Amino acid sequence: MIKSFGRHITALALTLMVMSLPSILFVHPASANPGLTVSNAILVTTVSPGQTLNHVMTVSISSSDQATDIAVQVEGMTQSPDGTLRATDSSQDTSPYSARQFIQVDKSSFHLDPGGSQDVTAIIQVPQSVGAGGRYAMINIITQATKGVGVNFISAVNVPIFLTIQGSQPISSGKITDLTTGLPVNGQPVNILTTFQNTGNVHFKVKGEVTVSDAKNAILGTVQEDLITSSIVPTMSRQLKADFIPKKELGVGVYTVKSKIMLDDGTLLDESTGSFEVKQTYTPPASTPEATSSPTVKTSSSSATSQPKAGTNWALIVGSLAGVIIVVLIILLLLKRKK
């Protein structure tokens, strides 16, 4: 019962978002409120078929925390459209790229007193017939509810496991599964959302480009979408958002949207075309009267307002004061002569 309760509120705990990191072993501490800390809380490495690898993590709580029981289990990895990585149990871990089946931990539960720590070793036994590409899993470390305590804070750390199979052929491919555009609202950018699914066999990052054209195929602007900060895991999807701000008002009509998704080196992975309709004259944000469609509009505006300020002209100020003093002296001299 306690274990079930802890699992159901894991969503309240800290979940790590992993970046696409080089293929090396990282020592990366992660903490969850109120005091659960895990060192070496991510593994991104290259492995060979048949290899056995040990990944040691240190789990600890602070001296101000209550004594607590800790549970550790290996789970599958899933990913939200915003890039957040999450753990999923065995019943939902159906990905062909899962590493859950060949990872074990040397202890599934243990007790920690205030200020205590415990090493946990993940034993990764890569099958000889593991296949190509990448394999992924999560190690879920979670505190358990304490009996007899009215209020319990359940906290957890998910440790992402990213394995790339050495000597295999990585495939970076994908497809745009959805392209949607928000309704044009005066004074607001036009939001364009592109959903891209990783159909390859390894994790990778992407960037995007969105072009908007009018009914005469005249390009009104292009939005460059920066390289995403977290990699897309195979079979998972990522949503990229572009804010289109035209240089001038848009008249009534239908406008074409073309979205491209590319690798960091510019390799095109997929493109898709959509449209949005302006039913009443659309006015772009008033705060950027000279806005371009580039996402660097704000940066450009900042640059304009952060130009070096003109230096104080002290020579002019001193000269002006001297002139005033001379005029006052002349007036006083004239008054004195009259007396």
Note whether 8 and 114 are same-domain residues.
yes
Q: Are residues 152 and 204 in the same domain?
A: no
pLDDT at 113 over 50: yes
Residue 332: the pLDDT is 61
Same domain, 43 and 94: yes
- What would the mean pLDDT of 214-221 be, rounded to a whole number? 96
Residues 151 and 245 in one domain: no
pLDDT at residue 155 in the model: 86
CB atoms within 10 A of CB 257: 22
Of the three residues 123, 140, 165, the one that is the final residue of a domain is 165
**Pairing mode, strands 190-198 and 237-244:** antiparallel
Domain boundary among 165, 196, 214: 165
Over range 48-64, report the average pLDDT: 96
In a domain, 13, yes or no: yes
Going by pLDDT thresholds of 50, 70 and 90, the confidence category of residue 18 is very low
CA-CA distance, 119 to 98, in Å (whole number)? 24
* Residue 286, SS3 per DSSP: coil
> What is the mean pLDDT of the segment spanning 131-157?
83
Single residue among 109, 140, 165 that ends a domain in this structure? 165
Residues 126 and 191 in one domain: no
Percent of the chain with pLDDT over 90: 68
Q: Same domain, yes or no, for 137 and 27?
A: yes
- Quick check: is 337 in a domain? no
- pLDDT tens, position by position, 267-324: 999 999 999 999 999 999 975 434 443 333 332 222 232 333 334 444 445 455 656 5
The more confidently predicted of residues 116 and 154 is 116
Tell me, what CATH number does 145's domain have?
2.60.40.10
In a domain, 112, yes or no: yes
Please state whether the peptide bond connecting residue 234 to the residue before it is cis, i.e. omega within 30 degrees of 0.
no
Shared domain check, 214 and 161: no
179 occurs within a structural domain: yes
Claim to verify: residue 204 and residue 123 sit in the same structural domain = no
Q: How many domains does the chain have?
A: 2
Kindly give, in sequence order, each residue whose CB lies less than 8 Å from that of residue 10, ignoring residues fewer than 6 positions away: 87, 140, 142, 154, 156
Please tell me the predicted confidence (pLDDT) of residue 186. 95
pLDDT at 152 over 80: no
Q: Indicate the pTM of the whole model.
A: 0.73
Confidence of residue 41 (pLDDT cuts 50, 70, 90): very high
Q: 286 CB contacts (<8 Å, ≥6 apart)?
A: 187
68-79/36-39 β-pairing: unpaired
23 pLDDT higher than 60: no
Q: Note whether 221 and 266 are same-domain residues.
A: yes
For residues 159 and 178, membership in a common domain is answered with no
**Quick one: how many helices (H) and strands (E) in the chain?**
3, 18
Query: pLDDT-derived band of residue 327, with 50, 70 and 90 as boundaries?
Result: low
* 155 & 192 share domain: no
Over residues 169-182, the pLDDT tens digits come to: 999 999 999 999 99
Look at residue 99 and tell me if it is in a domain: yes
Q: 165 pLDDT exceeds 90?
A: yes
Q: What is the pLDDT of residues 179-192, one digit of tens each?
A: 999 999 999 999 99
pLDDT at residue 146 above 70? Answer: no
> Does residue 84 carry a pLDDT above 80?
yes
CA-CA distance, 165 to 151, in Å (whole number)?
A: 45
- Better-scored residue on pLDDT, 12 or 279: 279
**192 shares its domain with 147:** no
Average pLDDT, stretch 130-159?
A: 84
The parent domain of residue 275 ranges over: 174-298
What residues does 141 pair with on adjacent strands? 72, 157
Reply yes or no on whether the pLDDT at 10 is more than 50: no
- Higher-scoring residue by pLDDT: 10, 30: 30
* pLDDT score at 293: 38
